[in-house]
Structures are given as structure tokens and as C-alpha cells.
Structure 1
Amino acid sequence: MSTGHVEYASLNGTHIFKLIGEVRAQSCISLDKLLNKIEHQDGVVGAIVDLTQTSFIDSTVLGILAKLGLKLKQAHQIQAVMLSTNSDITTLANSMGLGQVFVILDYCGDPNVCTRALVDEHITHRNMLHTVLDAHKTLMKLNQSNQNMFEPLVKQLQKEKENLDSLSQQNV
């Protein structure tokens, strides 16, 4: 299980996401649902992703963040800002193409930002599968390297999703 979590705050149309500790796929379901709500909101003027207290971030989380950056650009014509002080995390984010959808800044600010922890959603195999699959599909859209790296995983996850969907249909 993840030892990290995501905190969130919003003020006057600016959305702030703070990732703390080792943030893994389990922390993404609530974040993914929140992003879907923000995409359809009016008055969104900015977004900040604070990675200054992030010690580890997995590819699913990076995919969800890519989704945030892409949706803000497409739906609101906004380029989000990513704050990072960990060179390993900054390098990883850039290698996955997040620099295409975020302005990535080296930031040493006040760690006591007014955010609240997102409540973890009820994690089921089905919603975890959906979140992981969607995150990796988003990463694949950013560049050819990601496409090549994650294509086998996405194909496997799609097969698993189809099997689950087939079982659900049989149980109806």
C-alpha cells in the first residue's frame, strides 16, 4: 500500500494538488475523479502540482498528472505549473513528457500550504484497473518513447478489462 497521499485546495479558480511521500496508483482514483469534475467547471484559471514533498511517484500517477495537464490545455487553454525540488522526480517527469503540458519549476516554498488530504475512494479491482489503464494511455499520447514503453502494459490491461466486462455480462 502507498505511504503517500494527495492533498487538494482550490481558491478563486486556481487548483492546487500537493503530492506527499511515496505516491502510487492507489492514491489516483480520487484524483482522477476530481480531475474529471475540474475539466467541466467554469472559471478555472490555473493549476499547480506541488511535488516538493514527493519522494516517489509511479507511472500511473504521472499519467494522471499528464491527463490533468492535457485537459487544462484543451478545455481551459491553461498551462499548469509543476513545482519540484527533487531532481530525480523532475528528471522522471521530463522524461515522460510532462514538460510538454506543464511549466516545471524548481521551487523551495512554504511547505505549509492550505491543502486537505483527498479521501481515498473505495478501491476495487475494476476502478483501479480503469485508473491505471487510463493513466498509461495518457502517457502514451505524450511521446513515441512512452508509446513504445507502455504499449505492452496497456494491451495486457485492456485484455484484463475485457475479461472483467465479459464476466460482468455473464452475471447479469
Structure 2
Amino acid sequence: MNTEQILFACLQEHCYFKLSGELRYTNATGMDDLIEQLFEQEQPACAQVVVDLNDVTFIDSTHIGLLASLARHCQQHQLPKPILFSTNTEVNQLLKGLCLETVFDFAEHPTNQAIDLTPVQVEQHSDDHKGKMILRAHEALLDLSDKNRQEFKPVVELLRKQLS
């Protein structure tokens, strides 16, 4: 059983994401849609972004790419680095291994915020739309480091070929 859940709240220009469970590409469109929606305006709804991964049990490269994309949007809008909370050693090793510590401020402790978060609604998308989302997420990973570029370039090239 997949207990993946994405919760969100925006309070006083602080955007809070709480992700939990197994985060796989098959359930990434809700997160992607939310990120695009938040940053499509010239003046984004967020002045500060906080991501809580404390309840994540598994995260795949697509979701990591979405996190990289979120951080890139923050950079493009001259916002502070997003803060990422995670106490899961394996998740932290994976995120740092893919250079997310260069675009996030890591806080390796629990959050104690009592914020009323709302589940993110997942829209049904075509396979083509999902494929483009997976491609964008992996392209965001390429931009983080030369190591990522070497590791994910074949994946990105294959996705591009399949989508053309």
C-alpha cells in the first residue's frame, strides 16, 4: 500500500510542503503542478519555502528532481534558499549525493510547526504530460553538478527521444 501524501500551506508568504510515504514518479504530478502554479506569476506567492521530508520512507529521482526544480524557481526569483527538514539518514545521503545541499539549507531535525496543511489534489494527466514532467525533473538534476550530469544524461536523452 502506498501512503504517499503531499500536503501544502501558504501562510504569510511562507510556503510549506510536507511530503510523506513513498515518493515515486507515478505520483509526482501533484507536486509538479503545485510548483508550476506557485511560480508562474512574476511575483511568486512564496517569500520563503520550507519542505518537510521527515515522514518520507522512499524518494525517487523524479521527486528529487522536483525538489531541485523548486530550489531553482526560488533562485530565479531571488528568494532565500528553501529549508529542507529531514531526519531520515538514507534520504539525506541520497539528497546530498545528488548535490541538493547546494540549493537547500538542510535541517536534520524534526519540525515542530503546528500548521494546518491541505492535501494537494492530483489531476489526471496524459502519459505525454507525465513524460514531460519526468524529463523536466531530471533536467533540473543535471544542472546541480557534473556528477549528476554524467549520471542522468542517458536518462534525459532517452526521455527526450521517447517524447519526440
TM-score, normalised to structure 2's length?
0.92
Deviation string, structure 1 residues 58-89 (Cα, Å, up to 9, x no partner)? 00000000000111011133210000000110
Which residue of the partner structure matches residue 31 of structure 1?
31
* Runs of 4+ residues over 6 Å off in structure 1: none
Are the counterparts in 2 of residues 2 and 26 from structure 1 also a CA contact under 8 Å?
Answer: no
Are the counterparts in 2 of residues 21 and 53 from structure 1 also a CA contact under 8 Å?
Answer: yes
3-state secondary structure, aligned to 1:35:
helix
Which residue of the partner structure matches residue 117 of structure 2?
115
- Tell me which structure has the larger Cα radius of gyration: 1
- Structure 2 counterparts to residues 52-71 of structure 1, below 5 A: 52-71=54-73
- Identify unmatched segments of 5+ residues in structure 2: none
Q: Aligned-pair distance for 1:42?
A: 4.1
Q: Aligned-pair distance for 1:112?
A: 5.8
Aligned equivalent of 1:102, options 101, 104, 110: 104
Q: Aligned-pair distance for 1:5?
A: 2.0
3-state secondary structure, aligned to 2:18:
strand
Which residue of the partner structure matches residue 15 of structure 1?
15
- Structure 2 counterparts to residues 1-172 of structure 1, below 5 A: 2-39=2-39, 40=41, 41-42=43-44, 44-110=46-112, 113-162=115-164
3-state secondary structure, aligned to 1:76:
coil
Are the counterparts in 2 of residues 2 and 27 from structure 1 also a CA contact under 8 Å?
Answer: no
Are the counterparts in 1 of residues 2 and 22 from structure 2 also a CA contact under 8 Å?
Answer: yes
Deviation string, structure 1 residues 76-134 (Cα, Å, up to 9, x no partner)? 33210000000110111111111111001112234864211111110321111011100
- What RMSD in Å do the two structures reach over aligned CA positions? 1.7
Are the counterparts in 1 of residues 48 and 79 from structure 2 also a CA contact under 8 Å?
Answer: no
Are the counterparts in 2 of residues 6 and 27 from structure 1 also a CA contact under 8 Å?
Answer: no
TM-score, normalised to structure 1's length?
0.88
Which residue of the partner structure matches residue 165 of structure 1?
none
Q: Aligned-pair distance for 1:33?
A: 1.8
